[in-house]
Each structure stands twice: as C-alpha cells, then as structure tokens.
Chains A and B, each alone.
Chain A
C-alpha cells in the first residue's frame, strides 16, 4: 500500500493502537458477520438440497412428508427414481438432444465469432468500426423479438422442429457477444507478435490459425463456457423450435411441470440430471465462467 510505503516506518500500528472497547466491538461485529453469512449461505443451499433429497426418496415417502425427514430417517434414501428415469427413453433421448444442440451451437459460435472478431481487430476494410459497433448494439436484443419471425422463416425453410433450427438460432444470438468479447481480446495482442509472424511469411489465414488462436485460449474458454451453459440451460428457444423428437431435457421436463405434485419423482431427479453437466462445468471452470459473465455484463 502506498500509504505505508510513503509514511513513517511505524505504519503497521494502525490496528494495534486501538482501545480495548473498539477491539471488543470489532470482535462482536465479526461474530455477527459470520452468523449472518452462515444463515444466508443456508438460505442459498437449502432449496437445492431440498430438491436433491426429494429426488432421493420414494414417491410414497415424498407424498407423506417433507424431504427433511431423511435427516431422522436416512434409510429412506434411494436412487430408485434415478434408475427409473434413466430407463425412460424420452428422458435419455432428450438428454442426448441437449448435447446435440449445445455442442454444435458452442463450437460454431466460437469459430464464427473468432473469424469475425479477428477481422474486426486486425483487418482493414471500409467502415470497420461502424460494423463492429452495430454488432455490439445487437448484444441486448431480446430473443423474444426473433421468435415469431424466425418460426416463420424456419417453417419456410423446412427446418422448424429440427435440431438444425435450434442450433442456428442459438448461434445467431450467441454471435454478438462472441464477436464483442473476442475482438476486444484480439485487439490486445501485441502488434509485434503479428508482425514477426508476418515477416516469416505467414498469410492472413495462417496468422489467424497459428498465432492468434493459440493466444486466445482464455477468451475462447470464457466464451465457450458461457455459451455452453447458456444453450444447455435454454428452455424458451427450444420450447418453440423443437418438436417431440428433437426436444432437449429442459423442454421434456417442462411438459411434466403441469402435474406438479404427483410427479416429483420424475421432476426432481430430472432436474438434477439436467444440472449435473452445468454444475461440473461450473465448478471445473469457475474462473473462466466468471470472466465470461463479467465480460457479458450487458448481455
């Protein structure tokens, strides 16, 4: 801290010189802070834990009393609901559909976004910055605006209800953020690096593939994880653009919600199965996810 560096040598005395009363009140308030945070933490954990425990009980137990009963009767725990669910072809099929939608939608956004981001960062063409600003303007366009027009467009193209249609939609709405994030990242690459590669005789494509992309790891990871979670977790777009054969897990579960109350043995484990992948991704790539979220703070 510059204060201590510039100031007197006895600088660390800031805390020790305090009177007992104020130290006591600090200790008390420290305790209060801890208690408060623990209570809040429980508030945040309990809903998820509740559903998890509900998913691990038999339908009969769920109908009888609350999930907290398992704390006194741990013998109630069973994975029966999961076993039944994973034998259900509708559920496993829709889980596969989620993968078929999410993976291409993520890869395509990264590839197409990188190409455009690079062009906006390092190529010259008339109106470059205006084009880029136009793309940035599209960042906040709500997907709702496109639902009706695209439904009609896809109907005319014959891809309404197909996986292709959903993937395309997600790519379209993922691109503004991808271009925005990657262009800003590429623009920070030191010019010398690119020039050196150029002197070695690299063409534009080679420069992009061999020099720029390997440097872009962190940005691509952030973007990829963000887009992956976005698409994996989507329900609205898939609700409209898929049919019963191409629906992802979110839509399959959504149809069950209407009978909430007597099918918690499907909904609870189903929700958890749909959450497993996002949670693993989240815990494994927290830092990248956070930087993606921060960059996308306006999406």
Chain B
C-alpha cells in the first residue's frame, strides 16, 4: 500500500486525509459516467424489485385492492407455506452445521496425508456443477430399486449382512400338498407327526435362477430311530414338469436353510433347519406336533429405504446439498488453517497435549471466525435452496419437501398468487438483513482506512 496509508494509523484516521484521493482530480461527471451503468442496472434489477415486492405484498392477488397484512397472515395459515417454513428451519439448522463440521474434519485430516490435494479436489468438484446436474445425480443415487439406486443397494447389502434374508420369497405348497396356509405367510402340515415318521414337505414356486447356490438334489427322508425326519424341497421338475407329485424325484432340488418348527398346542417345541438336500431331522419331542414352515422363510426380500418418500425426502435432499457444499467449507477452513500460527500447535504438542486436545483447545478456537463466516454463508445459501428440491423430490413427495424458495416459485408462477409470493420474498429478505447489516458494518471499518 501507499506510504501515506501506513502513516495514517487507524486511531488518527478521522483526521487523516483520505488515502485514495483521485490522482487525476477527476471531474464528477467522469465519475458519474464510470458508475452509471452499474448503478442503473443495480437500481432497476435489484433495488427496484425490493421496493416493488414490499409494496406488492400488501396488495391482493390481482394487484388492485389493498390487502393489509392478509398475505403475511397466509404465511402462517397456508399449509404449503407452513411445511416450507418448517422444512426451511430443518435446512438452516442442519445443512450448514453438518457441512461446516465435515469441512473442518476434512481440512484438518487432509493436512496429514500426502494426497490431500487430490482429496480436496474430489470433494470440492461438486461446487463446479449445476444444482440441476447434482439433482439428477442424486435422483439416481436415491432410486428406490436396490438394483438401480446405489444408496439402497448399499443399504440393503448392509441390512442383509446383519438380518438373514429369506431365500424363498415365492415358495408355496403345490396341488394336493400336505401343507396348508397357517396365516401370516406361514405354512403348516394338515396332520400331526409321530416319533419315527418320515415327512415330505413339497413346495413349488421358486424360479430356478434364484435357487440358492448351495441347493443340492433333494434326498428322500430316511427313518432315524424315533426321530422325525423329513425333506423340504422344490417339488417340480423343470421342463417336463413331470416327476411324481409330492415325491422326491431325481432332478429336484432341496431347500437349504428352510426353517421348520414343530408346533404343539400353539407352542414351538422343536426346530430344525434343512440341509443342502432339503433334509431335516427333529427329536422325538416333536411327537404329536404339526410341522410349520414359519413366515420368515417366505418374507419378501428387504427392499431398502424409501429415500424420496414423504418422511425421508428432506434429509435426503439435505444430504445432496452437503455433498455439494462441504467442499466449500473445507476449502475456506483449509485456507484458515494455512494461515494459523503453527508454533501454537507445536507448543501445545510439546506441552504433552494429544491430537484431540490440540484440535479441541487450539485449532477450533483459532478457527472460530472462519467457521462463523462459513456457517453464516451457508445459512444464507440454504435459505435460497430451490433447484435441488425441485429436481430431486418427485412429484409425489414435493409437497413434503417444500421450501420457501420453491413455494414462492409455485405461488408466483404456477398458482397465480403474486401477493403471497411477494410476502414470501419479503420474508426471505428480512431473514438475510442481519447478514447484510453485518457485512456493511465490517466493511465500513475497512473502507474508512
């Protein structure tokens, strides 16, 4: 900076001459010419609309009659707007904080790996693409079908690892079967079994390509003393469709893993699981019991979460927003980290602080101003979120995902209620005024230098 700026110390600023005096002694007309295009456009396209919206918000939908605060009352009575308001609160509370927290974690951790720059590039990249493209990307991610949407593919994978999934969702008794439906999807033998019996439990309906890999050719049950033995298998020979009904034929496959319960007077007295060839064996405790194939054998496969359904759609869209904006937080925080006095961190480490303590007691407090700027910036940004909701939320759940900016668009441009839309616009403006004031105040000090 010029030397006279350095001389004009902040304290004596009011008395000191302005440092950026024109070097040419410009005439005011020249200054006006330089400013004219910008001020004209700003006046017509930004300032005028603010005034217009404020006035318009007090008039009725046709714009002819004065409506007082009716439009503002609608903000709290209209269902669509109330949902939007509620969702906006969720957005403003969660999206900026989670994005900032992730940005902080990423910024701190990337400093410790050599490929930190590559990582940052990957996380920052979504900033460069449109919300429309991000919306399409996440529409696919959140696809309900686990065979298409990666979110449900992963979720179902995790779920099935912990909860046994059923292998025979469509299996059911065939003609003249000894089994009958027992309610709730289970099947039960018509008659009871006695010790030493052999039982056949023939079922049909499992397509050959979804038979479990460990299915082996079914074996007919062999008596085992007073134990009760049996076979649960696919009683259907493919192609010819022949074989003998309710008897184990050579090319038929067992139902490995089929669970069998012996039920006496409504209580389960014994259980068994079929082997690869479909055979199972129950102790004599099952004497006199009915054999039941519990519904868990036939439960439809778990299909994952309905990400874009009414209850999850807002968190899901917030997730896509965080995907886009965590990189922004990360880059700003990383810049803050780079400017941090390293000796403070080292001093804390030398004093015996562990990494967590250094992070918690030194790094975060020093970064507080940056974190505040990032969070506030994201909050303003989140207030205006439109594209992501508009694109990701399907028509069926768009009402549940509603936000103010979307509701404004709907009211103003598809429902022909410009009065209410203007009231929403004024509300949005009021919400950013504190930040406007903060910006101006911060800059006023700088400008006066």
* A positions within 8 Å CB-CB of B: 1-3, 14, 29-30, 33-34, 36-37, 40-41, 44-48, 50-51, 54, 62, 65-68, 112-113, 115-116, 118-125, 129, 131-133, 135-153, 168-169, 171-173, 175-176, 179, 187-188, 190-192, 194-195, 198, 202-205, 207-208, 229, 232-236, 239-240, 250, 253-254, 257-258, 260-261, 264, 267-268, 271-272, 274-275, 278-279, 281-282, 286, 289-290, 293-294, 297-299
Contacts and interface: CB of A to CB of B under 8 A. Distances in A.
Contacts of B18: 124
Given A62-B148, A116-B34, A253-B132, 5 more contacts: A30-B112, A132-B443, A145-B49, A147-B425, A175-B41
Interface stretch (B83-91, B175-183, B280-288, B382-390): B382-390
Contacts of A240: 409, 413
B46 A141 contact: yes
A250 B132 contact: yes
21 contacts: A41-B123, A47-B150, A50-B150, A66-B149, A66-B150, A116-B39, A123-B22, A124-B18, A142-B380, A142-B429, A144-B424, A144-B425, A153-B48, A169-B45, A172-B45, A175-B42, A179-B38, A202-B24, A204-B30, A297-B373, A298-B435
B138 interface: yes
A48 to B, nearest CB: 6
Contacts of A169: 45
B121 interface: yes
B212 to A, nearest CB: 20
B323 to A, nearest CB: 7
A148 B20 contact: no
B273 interface: no
Contact of A233 (B119, B130, B437): B130
Interface string B49-90: 110110010000000000000000000000000000000000
B38 A279 contact: no
Interface residues of B, number: 112
A223 B448 CA distance: 24
Given A148-B53, A148-B412, A135 B138 contact: no
Contact of A124 (B26, B42, B413): B26
A253 B129 CA distance: 14
Nearest to A139: B439
A173 B129 contact: no
Contacts of A68: 150, 153
B364 interface: no
A274 B28 contact: no
A207 B24 contact: yes
A89 B41 CA distance: 34
**Max chain B Cβ within 10 angstroms of own Cβ: one of A37, A129, A195:** A37
Given A45-B122, A132-B447, A122 B22 contact: yes
B19 A236 contact: no
A120 B31 CA distance: 9
A141 B54 CA distance: 13
B35 A119 contact: yes
Interface of A is mostly: helix
B206 interface: no
Interface of B: 1-2, 4, 18-24, 26, 28, 30-32, 34-35, 37-39, 41-42, 44-50, 52-53, 56, 106, 109-110, 112-113, 119, 121-133, 135-141, 143, 147-150, 153, 323, 328, 331-332, 335, 342-343, 346-347, 349-350, 355, 373-374, 376-377, 380, 383-384, 386-387, 390-391, 394-395, 405, 408-409, 412-413, 418, 421-422, 424-426, 428-429, 432, 435-437, 439-440, 443-444, 447-448
A111 to B, nearest CB: 8
Contact of A203 (B24, B47, B140, B331): B24
B126 A44 contact: yes
Contact of B130 (A132, A192, A278): A278
A141 B433 CA distance: 8
A86 to B, nearest CB: 17
Given A36-B109, A297-B373, A125 B39 contact: no
Given A121-B20, A147-B409, A192 B2 contact: yes
Nearest to A115: B34
Given A14-B349, A207-B24, A294-B332, A148 B39 contact: no
A148 B132 CA distance: 22
B132 A142 contact: no
B436 A139 contact: yes
B15 to A, nearest CB: 16
B383 A142 contact: yes
A116 B425 CA distance: 28
Contacts of A290: 124, 331
Nearest to B356: A29
B2 to A, nearest CB: 4
Contacts of B150: 46-47, 50, 66-68
A144 B384 contact: yes
Contact of A236 (B377, B409, B428): B409
B122 A44 contact: yes
A232 B127 CA distance: 13
